[in-house]
Chain A
Amino acid sequence: MTDGDTAALGAATAARDPHGGPARARSGVPPDEEFQAADGGLTALVTSAAAGDSAAWNALVERYAPLVHATCRRWRLDTADVADVSQTVWLRLVENLGRLREPQALPGWLRTTTVRECTRLYHARQRERPDDLVGELAHSPADESEPVDRRLIDDERNAALRAALTELPERCQRLLGLLMRDPPTSYTDISARLDMPCGAIGPTRARCLDRLRNSPTLRALLADADPGDGP
């Protein structure tokens, strides 16, 4: 799906599809811009927030604060420390909004900053109990090989996927939404709702999932080699 296709089809379906409008209008970016934005409006939000638009900031918080929070919890920080790191990450962002390499760099920047702050606090807490071996063994960052940590890992992945979804063109978000319905939406219905030929649905699904894999948030998550900065 080229950006031109997205723009043309997005504008056409905006008028026809009753489900397109309300959710997008919340974000502080004019609906038309979002329908045509290949990046789900990310660039517009970062630019607007950097320029003083608090609605754009709130939209960024809505999209990314859950992932920041889930990452902190995966590091097994206590509730107070999780809240502290979260606040610190967003404070650093408000100070650096205008200095990001580019708006698309935001998710990677958030992840790097979150992991750095979690690591810092994690090690500070470990130092406070240098002789507490039992404490050290019990409090390591969530590890995929430990069944009990499954919940923390899943929460982080869920938050990442929800954020990544917002980074897709609106048309992809709608297609994937229809494909996930239970009971499943028929291809005939999808074709009618999105003004897309039935034969294009399969290939478009594949392209949208590829965009999801390559979204800034998922790329940042997968680029993390190892959470094992702890013991």
Chain B
Amino acid sequence: MMSKDWLADDSLLRALDEAVRTPDPTPPAVLDAARAVYTWRTVDAELAELVHDSRVESPALAGLRAEEADLRTLSFAAPGLTIELGVSPTALLGQLVPPGPAEVTVRLDGGATSTVPVDEDGCFRVAPPPAGLFSLACETSGGRHVVTTTFHL
């Protein structure tokens, strides 16, 4: 990747000197955003990881008809529980697999939360689809507390 000549003692010290003297060009907004991420920390919850995103896995999406291309699907999985999502322009459609009594809470950027009902088929709906970062917390009747990794559409 890079030549390693600069690693010898004298040149390393010179390189360090340059590094310390050069102003850090990182925009403050980038640092602020990284600090703000900490509010997404969850305690005592299982994480459901993103295991499928049709947009990432189908680069040929551009060849589909517009209405098909709109139906992006996502899956978040924890052991024994998957949260399937379908994204339409007007709503986020969710399905818990396996279905069962549960409560789903949407957590939005800024901390606002809203709980949405889950029907007997494990289906729920978030309308409109969240703008910006969000996570979905699922409280099952069996007492599991599962949270998706934080995501944005």
Kindly supply a per-residue 1/0 record for chain B positions 14-33, scoring 1 wherever the CB is within 8 Å of any chain A CB and 0 otherwise. 01111110101111011101
Binding stretch for chain B, among A4-12, A19-27, A30-38, A205-213: A205-213
For residue A144, CB closer than 8 A to chain B, the reply is yes
B16 engages A165 (CB within 8 Å)? yes
A180 touches B20 (CB 8 A): yes
A81 contacts chain B at the CB level, 8 A cutoff: no
Q: Is A192 an interface residue (CB 8 A)?
A: no
Residues 42-85 of A at the B interface (beta carbon under 8 Å): 49, 52, 54, 57-58, 61-62, 65-66, 68-70, 82-83
Interface status of B149 (Cβ within 8 A of chain A): yes
* Distance between Cα atoms of A90 and B33 in the complex (Å): 9
Q: For the complex, is B1 an interface residue (Cβ under 8 Å from A)?
A: yes
Q: Report if A86-B33 is in contact (Cβ < 8 Å); known contacts: A179-B13, A227-B1.
A: yes
Q: How far is the CA of A155 from the CA of B27 in the complex (A)?
A: 13
Task: Tell me the minimal C-beta distance from A77 to chain B in angstroms.
Answer: 12
Does B34 have its Cβ within 8 Å of any Cβ on chain A? Answer: yes
B16 pairs with A176, CB closer than 8 A:
yes
Contact partner of B38 among A54, A82, A92, A180, CB < 8 A? Answer: A54
Query: Digit string of A180-207 for contact with B (CB within 8 Å is 1, else 0)?
Result: 1000000000000000000000000110
Q: CB of A148 within 8 A of chain B? A: no
Cross-chain contact A61 with B24 (CB below 8 angstroms)? no
Number of A-B contacts (CB under 8 A): 114
Partner of A165, one of B7, B20, B34: B20
Stretch touching chain A among B40-48, B84-92, B98-106, B136-144: B40-48
Within 8 A of A (CB), among B30-65: 30-31, 33-35, 37-38, 40-43, 47, 56, 59, 62
Closest residue on chain B to residue A60 by CB atoms: B34
> Which B residues are CB-close (under 8 A) to A132?
none
Give which listed residue, B15, B22, B27, B41, contacts A52 with CB less than 8 A.
B41
B13 with A83: CB separation less than 8 A: no
**Are B26 and A222 touching (Cβ within 8 A)?**
no
Interface size on A, residues (CB 8 A): 51
Contacts of A97 in B (CB 8 A): 41
Residues 152-179 of A contacting B (Cβ, < 8 Å): 153, 155, 157-162, 165, 176-177, 179
Q: Which residues of B contact A180 (CB under 8 A)?
A: 13, 16-17, 20
A86 close to B35 (CB less than 8 A):
no
Q: Let me know if B12 and A212 touch, CB within 8 A.
A: yes
B114 within 8 Å of A by Cβ?
no
Task: Kindly list chain A residues whose C-beta atoms are within 8 Å of the C-beta of B59.
Answer: 124, 127
Q: How far is the CA of A58 from the CA of B29 in the complex (A)?
A: 14
Residue B150 is within 8 A (CB to CB) of chain A in the complex: yes
Report which B residues bind A (CB closer than 8 A).
Answer: 1-4, 6-7, 9, 12-13, 15-20, 22, 24-27, 29-31, 33-35, 37-38, 40-43, 47, 56, 59, 62, 133, 149-150
Residues on A close to B: CB < 8 A?
49, 52, 54, 57-58, 61-62, 65-66, 68-70, 82-83, 86-87, 90-95, 97, 120, 124, 127-128, 144, 153, 155, 157-162, 165, 176-177, 179-180, 205-206, 209, 212-213, 222, 224-227
Interchain residue pairs with CB less than 8 A apart (6): A86-B33, A86-B34, A90-B34, A91-B150, A165-B16, A209-B13
Query: Given A94-B37, A144-B3, A161-B20, 20 more contacts at CB 8 Å?
Result: A49-B38, A52-B41, A52-B43, A54-B38, A58-B38, A61-B31, A65-B34, A66-B25, A66-B31, A83-B30, A83-B33, A87-B37, A90-B34, A95-B40, A128-B62, A160-B19, A161-B16, A205-B9, A209-B13, A222-B4
